[in-house]
Amino acid sequence: MIMKISRTYLILSVLLAGLAFVLVLLPKTTRNKEIQPDKLLIEINDPARFVNPDFIAERLINEDPSLQLVDVRTKDQFSKFTLPGAVNIPLNEMSNEEWDESLNHEDKDVILFSNDDLYADQAWIISARQGYKNIYVMKGGLNLWFKDILSPEKPSETASKEEFETYYFRKAAAQYFRGPSSIIKTDIAPSNVELKKKEKKISAEGGC
């Protein structure tokens, strides 16, 4: 009787040991679960990942701590210009595990940007596949940022009230963000001002 019991125990323990071994052999999974192609397609098709530059500008001005900007351009481009508080993750290094800290935030919105939005979106697709959440893409990228925020176009007089509101917001934002660069501008400003002396028009006085 005792023999019988210990045999079943033996079989069970061998079985469990075998399963434990299988577990060891399973491929190492990353912290995030990779999503399958069909799920990724649904994510790609969803435009909810795009945020407007205005939205980002507003949060930057308010010094929103839950905003993490990520510049996916090259190191070289990043060193020349970037947005306040942005970290650089070049597109081709996007999948590197060392960036996990910058991308994996539960309580922060990570916003990717590039010159236009193509490269940022490619980076987004890879990070979405890797299962990162809370990642967004800046619509239009830096090109639109400069166009909309730093040199907003005045809406036509017939434009709606909202359009004027965004315009005034952008004007204010432009002043805020131009901060350091406006110093450069004042340097060159004087050269632009040409002192034009008004020539006195000599009225044709009648010669006698």
Partner 1 sequence: MAEVYKTKRLKIASAIFIALIVIGFLTFHKPLYKYTLTPEQALVGLSLPESTIGSVEIREIINSEKKNAVLVDVRNVQDYASGHINGAINIPLIDILNEQNYSHLRDLDQDQVNIIIYGKDHLQANGAFMLLKQLGFKNMKFIASEFDIISKMNNDGLKELQLLENMFMDDSIINQFVNPTSKKDSTTEDPPEKITPVKKAKKNSSEGGC
Residues 41, 133, 163, 176: which binds partner 1 (CB under 8 A)? Answer: 41
Distance between CA atoms of residues 93 and 89, nearest Å: 7
Q: Examine residue 79 and tell whether it contacts partner 1 (CB under 8 A).
A: no
Q: How far is the CB of 66 from partner 1 (least distance, A)?
A: 25
Q: Examine residue 142 and tell whether it contacts partner 1 (CB under 8 A).
A: yes
Q: How far is the CB of 85 from partner 1 (least distance, A)?
A: 17
Q: Examine residue 185 and tell whether it contacts partner 1 (CB under 8 A).
A: yes
One DSSP character per residue, 141-169 reads HHHHIIIIIISPPPPPTT--HHHHHHHHH
Residues 13, 133, 151, 172: which binds partner 1 (CB under 8 A)? Answer: 151
Residue 103, helix vs strand vs coil: helix
Q: Examine residue 77 and tell whether it contacts partner 1 (CB under 8 A).
A: yes
Residue 25, helix vs strand vs coil: helix
Question: How far is C-alpha 92 from the chain's CA centre?
Answer: 16
Using CA atoms, how far residue 162 sits from 57, 150, 155, 157, 169, in Å, is: 17, 19, 10, 12, 10
Distance between CA atoms of residues 167 and 170, nearest Å: 5
Q: Examine residue 48 and tell whether it contacts partner 1 (CB under 8 A).
A: no
How many residues touch partner 1 under the rule CB under 8 A: the total is 57
Q: Examine residue 58 and tell whether it contacts partner 1 (CB under 8 A).
A: no
Contacts to partner 1 by CB under 8 A: 1, 4-5, 8-9, 11-12, 15, 19, 34, 36-38, 40-42, 44-45, 77, 80-81, 91-96, 114-119, 121-122, 125-126, 129-130, 142-143, 146-147, 150-151, 181, 184-185, 187-188, 192, 203-208
